[in-house]
Amino acid sequence: MTVHRSHRSHRSYDATTAGLVRHSLAVLRDGRHPSGAYVACPNYPTYQYAWLRDGSFCAYAADLWGEREEAAAFHRFVARTVLRHLGREADSGRAEADLRLPTRYTLTGEFEPAGAQAWPNFQLDGYGTWLWALRDHRARGGVLDDEILRAAGRTADYLDATCALPCYDCWEEYGDRRHTSTLATLVAGLEAAAELLGRPALSDRAAGLRAELDSAAHLGDAGYIKHDASGGVDASLLWLALPFGVVAPDDPRMTATAERIGAELTGPGGGIRRYLGDEFYGGGEWILLTAWWGWYRAALGDREGALRAARWIEAAATESGDLPEQLTATPQFADRVEPWTRRWGPVATPLLWSHAMYLVLADALARL
């Protein structure tokens, strides 16, 4: 495929970024399967699947940088996958509210093979994120055919039926809780579907979820909290402002949340951690979350803060320019790095979601 770079050349704010932007776009292209699916990581066995959440942000980044057909191929993959499985599940006679679609699929859109490593499956954020990304794709000139719109309708029905249920969060943890960042994806997804499909009842459903977000279960005295049984913060709470727009970046509820994230989750190296107590590879500093932090700072007009995040990410790249999932030089739990490395191997590198979020940050910086 032809990569349209020339009209983007003025967007780079220095030579370092230009190089990593080009490489990040190449990582996304190389990581897209012929089916249209984005692999989470091409050389990390546990991540050789397609997550709708990760892929939606990869498609969003591709759209930002003019790679329209790259994004379109992903959306066609999701549409085929959703129609195949929601149709098959519905034919089984089960009610929509009883369905539990997986958080990840094979690269050809199938359920994980029997006997493969078990993975927490019931997780809704990817489906809401896809609907949001689909609307954004159309707004940028993408064409949504009848199959895609049918899939959007089935996905919206699925979320309408299941959005009141507890599910796993975006990190595949705490499956018995109501997660604040997951609710943000549901609000954004249902509102997007209402617009795409001309179904105002979906906006009413989203409004109910917005009201839940502002209840004591999700909003404390110091901003939004991780889930309905935790008073802590999670870096994914930045999603409420960007990109899902549940609250404005400068809304006092959001700024209070961001102050806690910055104070509690910035690691000694300068990157952003997921949450306090995270033991996955020791709970290091994540590339994609640091990019999100920079994106949020850019939305507030804080160019220096956004630039610091970008520079930290650029320094974390390997010699070939690949970005890992996280850095483990300064983990929360040093004794948990080696057991995870022994179990699954070194930290996933390159992680496509990391490259996607760096591209989002680079775009935000270029617009300041």
Q: Quote the CA–CA distance of 33 and 323 in Å, as a whole number.
A: 19
- Coil, helix or strand for 96? helix
User: Phi, psi (5° rounding) for residue 300?
Assistant: -85, 0
Does residue 327 come out as left (phi exceeding 0), alpha (psi in the -120 to 50 range) or beta?
A: beta
Is omega for the bond preceding 45 within 30 degrees of 0, making it cis? no
**Domain architecture of the chain: domains with CATH:** 1-30+266-368 (no CATH), 43-247 (1.50.10.10)
Q: Quote the CA–CA distance of 154 and 148 in Å, as a whole number.
A: 10
Residue 100 has pLDDT above 90, yes or no: no
Is omega for the bond preceding 200 within 30 degrees of 0, making it cis? no
Residues paired with 38 in a beta bridge: 32
Residue 7 has pLDDT above 50, yes or no: no
Catalytic residue among 63, 70, 160, 169: 169
Residues paired with 227 in a beta bridge: 179, 230
Concerning whether 160 is annotated as a catalytic residue, the answer is no
Task: Say what the pTM is.
Answer: 0.94
Note the pLDDT tens digit of each residue in 272-323: 999 999 999 999 999 999 999 999 999 999 999 999 999 999 999 999 999 9
Residue 268 has pLDDT above 70, yes or no: yes
CA distances to 184, 191, 226, 240, 290 from 246, in Å: 6, 11, 15, 5, 20
Mean local confidence (pLDDT), 169-193: 97
Letter string b/e over residues 160-176, b meaning 16 or more CB atoms within 10 A of that residue's CB: bebbeebbbbbbebbee
Banded pLDDT at 99 (limits 50, 70, 90) = confident
Residue 12 has pLDDT above 70, yes or no: no
Alpha-carbon dihedral sign for residues 6, 9, 15, 18: negative
Q: Provide the pLDDT for residue 15.
A: 52
Residue 8 has pLDDT above 50, yes or no: no
> Is the CB of residue 359 less than 8 Å from the CB of residue 21?
yes
Residues paired with 249 in a beta bridge: none
Catalytic residue among 89, 112, 157, 172: 172
> Is the CB of residue 77 less than 8 Å from the CB of residue 148?
no
Note the pLDDT tens digit of each residue in 322-334: 999 999 999 999 9
User: Phi, psi (5° rounding) for residue 224?
Assistant: -75, 155
For every residue of 4-52, DSSP letters joined together read: --GGGGGG-SSHHHHHHHHHHHHHHHHTB-TTSPBPS-TT-GGG-SEEH
Note the pLDDT tens digit of each residue in 214-232: 999 999 999 999 999 999 9
> Is the CB of residue 155 less than 8 Å from the CB of residue 131?
yes
- Considering the chain, what is the average pLDDT of its residues? 92
Element (H, E) at 154: helix 146-162
> Is the CB of residue 125 less than 8 Å from the CB of residue 181?
yes
Mean local confidence (pLDDT), 122-138: 97
Q: Provide the pLDDT for residue 263.
A: 98
Residue 6 has pLDDT above 70, yes or no: no
Note the pLDDT tens digit of each residue in 139-157: 999 999 999 999 999 999 9
Residue 166 has pLDDT above 70, yes or no: yes
Going through 49-117 in order, the beta strands assigned E by DSSP cover: 50-51, 104-105
Concerning whether 325 is annotated as a catalytic residue, the answer is yes
3-state DSSP helix/strand/coil % of the chain, to nearest 5:
55, 5, 40
Concerning whether 259 is annotated as a catalytic residue, the answer is no
Residues of the chain with pLDDT > 70: what percent? 91
Q: Provide the pLDDT for residue 14.
A: 64
Going through the chain in order, the beta strands assigned E by DSSP cover: 50-51, 104-105, 219-220, 223-224, 285-286, 326-327
Residue 113 has pLDDT above 50, yes or no: yes
Catalytic residue among 70, 125, 160, 325: 325
